[in-house]
Chain A
Amino acid sequence: TQLLEQSPQFLSIQEGENLTVYCNSSSVFSSLQWYRQEPGEGPVLLVTVVTGGEVKKLKRLTFQFGDARKDSSLHITAAQPGDTGLYLCAGADSNYQLIWGAGTKLIIKP
């Protein structure tokens, strides 16, 4: 069974600080996605990374796929209160089914 472990599970920081959250597995994924979920809503896709070593930027968010396609990280620069939410990673297995991490709950305090 493929598993995706996210860390930390919970992170509370002040506005303006930088942070990194991680998504790790012992399995190789064909692609990896990051979603953000706000309270009372469904997850919304932020980015898909496909190639080992790939880096994608979305404004202040930087996503990286590990060289071996087993792990990924999300780095937020100068966090804003609007970044508050649950960040979920999901890896696509060989059958293109998504394997989900449990999420990192992020709170940015003004």
Chain B
Amino acid sequence: DAGITQSPRYKITETGRQVTLMCHQTWSHSYMFWYRQDLGHGLRLIYYSAAADITDKGEVPDGYVVSRSKTENFPLTLESATRSQTSVYFCASSTRDAVNTDTQYFGPGTRLTVL
């Protein structure tokens, strides 16, 4: 299916475990983003990528690792999950097709609970 997909949609894990959240887009958008959404904080940028093999930190990168070996995939790994990483995680992609605009297209989200 065309669009941007995330898997799994729901995940429960334990403190200290490694968890990988997957994100796949079929538009060949150059930019991809990972956000977390918590009550009262809105969306906070974790990492973003401008192209394959190019990644950069966002506002809250600690405890997370990303990679982008292919344009269409942008996995997010929690190396050793902590309770504070319980959140809803959104992946997004964008095409900067004009100066001053950056329309982002979001996946459905992954709800992660760390026990």
Contact = CB atoms under 8 A, between A and B. Distances in A.
Interface in A53-86: none
Contacts of A42: 90, 92, 106-109
Contacts of B100: 30-31, 50, 92, 96
B109 A48 contact: no
A31 B100 CA distance: 6
Contacts of A50: 100-101
What class of interface size applies to chain A in its complex with B?
Answer: 20 to 34
A19 interface: no
Interface string A89-102: 01010001110111
A97 B107 CA distance: 18
30 contacts: A31-B100, A31-B101, A31-B102, A40-B108, A42-B90, A42-B92, A42-B108, A42-B109, A43-B106, A45-B103, A45-B104, A48-B101, A48-B103, A50-B100, A50-B101, A88-B42, A88-B43, A90-B43, A92-B101, A92-B102, A96-B96, A96-B100, A97-B48, A98-B45, A98-B102, A100-B42, A100-B44, A101-B42, A102-B40, A102-B41
Interface of B: 40-45, 48, 90, 92, 96, 100-109
Interface of A: 30-31, 33, 40-45, 48, 50, 88, 90, 92, 96-98, 100-103
